[in-house]
């Protein structure tokens, strides 16, 4: 899916309503730009690093990926964004969010699912990169069952950079309640009492 975002030259920057950004790439010289704050923050709720975004409003439209987002300290929101203008036909590497789906049978038995990873790194043509990758936890039936990176299914032409044996999620059994510890008599105090009585 391709999304659109309107950009302006940095000299037209309005600090009250816009966010500073920069766009660069192998065939695109670094160019400072500005983006409408509300438009960008709305887009970021739907887009990730693997989402192709078309920047309009400049001398020519540019297809980019979000490379880095710097948050505003203390007040929240976005302070600055880096856009990577990829070369047509070339592979790129990006992080893709893992989306956990299904119900794990181990949870019906009182166990839990420990989610270890929430994103992976993939490489492929920008238009082939998935926005999210589904992880079906219904295969986690008993304690000890695991889902590994190698279990994920990728679109044609997309490869995973993480090691295949990296654990994404693991089923854990029901935690046993810790037995109550009985209070031990204070030996030192008892000895002191005995000495007092002896006196």
Residue 181 lies in a domain: no
Q: Which two tokens stand for residue 48?
A: 């990730």
CA distance 9 to 31: 8
Could you tell me how many residues make up the chain?
Answer: 199
First to last CA, the chain: 90
Overall number of domains in the chain: 2
Q: Per-residue pLDDT tens for 159-189? A: 999 999 999 999 998 765 555 555 555 555 4
Rounded CA gap, 78 and 32, in Å?
16
Distances (CA, A) of 138 to 61, 107, 123, 197: 43, 10, 27, 68
Instruction: Encode pLDDT of 37-66 as tens digits.
Output: 999 999 999 888 899 999 999 999 999 999
Residue 177 is assigned to a structural domain of this protein: no
Instruction: Say if 185 falls within a structural domain.
Output: no
CA-based torsion, 163, 166, 71, 91: positive or negative: positive
Tell me the pairing of strands 112-115 and 2-9: unpaired
Which residue reads 């510890």 in tokens?
Answer: 181
- Domain boundary among the residues 87, 113, 139 is at 87
**Domain coverage including residue 158:** 93-172
Global pTM reads 0.76
Domain endpoint, select from 36, 67, 87: 87
Specify whether the CB–CB gap between 52 and 2 falls below 8 A.
yes
pLDDT, tens only, 81-116: 999 999 988 999 999 999 999 999 999 999 999 999
3-class DSSP state of 125: coil
Tell me, yes or no, whether 49 lies in a domain.
yes
Give the residue from 32, 66, 87 where a domain finishes.
87
Task: Kindly report the CATH number assigned to the domain that includes residue 9.
Answer: 2.40.240.10
Same domain, 134 and 151: yes
């Amino acid at each position: 899916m391709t999304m659109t975002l309107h950009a302006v030259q940095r000299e037209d920057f309005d600090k009250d309503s816009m966010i500073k950004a920069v766009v660069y790439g192998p065939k695109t010289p670094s160019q400072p730009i500005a983006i409408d704050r509300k438009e960008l923050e709305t887009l970021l709720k739907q887009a990730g690093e693997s989402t192709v975004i078309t920047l309009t409003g400049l001398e020519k439209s540019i297809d980019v990926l979000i490379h880095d987002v710097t948050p505003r300290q203390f007040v929240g929101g976005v302070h600055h964004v880096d856009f990577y203008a990829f070369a047509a036909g070339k592979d790129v590497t990006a992080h893709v969010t893992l989306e956990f789906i299904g119900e794990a049978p181990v949870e019906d038995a009182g166990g839990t699912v420990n989610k270890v990873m929430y994103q992976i790194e993939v490489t492929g043509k920008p238009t082939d990169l998935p926005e999210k990758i589904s992880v079906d936890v219904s295969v986690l039936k008993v304690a000890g069952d695991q889902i590994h990176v190698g279990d994920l299914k990728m679109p044609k032409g997309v490869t995973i950079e993480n090691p295949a044996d990296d654990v994404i999620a693991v089923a854990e059994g029901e935690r046993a309640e810790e037995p109550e510890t009985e209070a031990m008599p204070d030996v030192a105090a008892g000895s002191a009492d005995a000495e007092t009585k002896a006196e």
